[in-house]
Amino acid sequence: MPSDKPYTRLKNGSLLPEFELGLLDGESVFLKSLIVPGKFLLIDFWGHWCAGCIQALPELRHVADELKNKLTIVSLHNRDRDEARKIIKSEGLHWLQAESSEALVEAFLVDSWPSYILVDGEGRIRELNIPRHEALKIIRESMPR
């Protein structure tokens, strides 16, 4: 159970907490294992029922290809896994897809969908609940010219 004490909540600069993610393919992975030095991790909270989430998928697919050397994406789907699988297949989403949980939503202070968390290559939360375009700007600006 998350604490109600503000000093124990995640904030920008916090180390990424350890969570085991249940991937939609049946496997599991620890969130911290997705940290790669020199690469950002974008955590995408989405749901099949969220129009804004669905509208963002083509851009995320493009970015996953364009920035593959600087970015890892993990999408955490909220609710119906079968509906998520249909969308993942129809949209050709090729990055990690996992199930969200109340614990993840609470830990990352998610209060709207889609919601994005940007984590740096050292495992520190760079930005909680950052707009997608701002996260992508930070990543692109970090790339050598």
> pLDDT exceeding 70 applies to what percent of the chain?
94
Q: What is the pLDDT of residues 20-38, one digit of tens each?
A: 999 988 899 999 999 999 9
Q: What is the pLDDT of residues 37-82, one digit of tens each?
A: 999 999 999 999 999 999 999 999 999 999 999 999 999 998 888 9
What's the half-sphere exposure (Cβ side, CA atoms, 13 Å) at 46? 25
- Is the CATH number of domain 46-145 3.30.360.10? no
| pLDDT confidence band for 8 (50 / 70 / 90) | low
5 has pLDDT over 70 = no
Neighbours of 117 (CB within 10 A): 26
Give the domain ranges of the chain.
Answer: 46-145
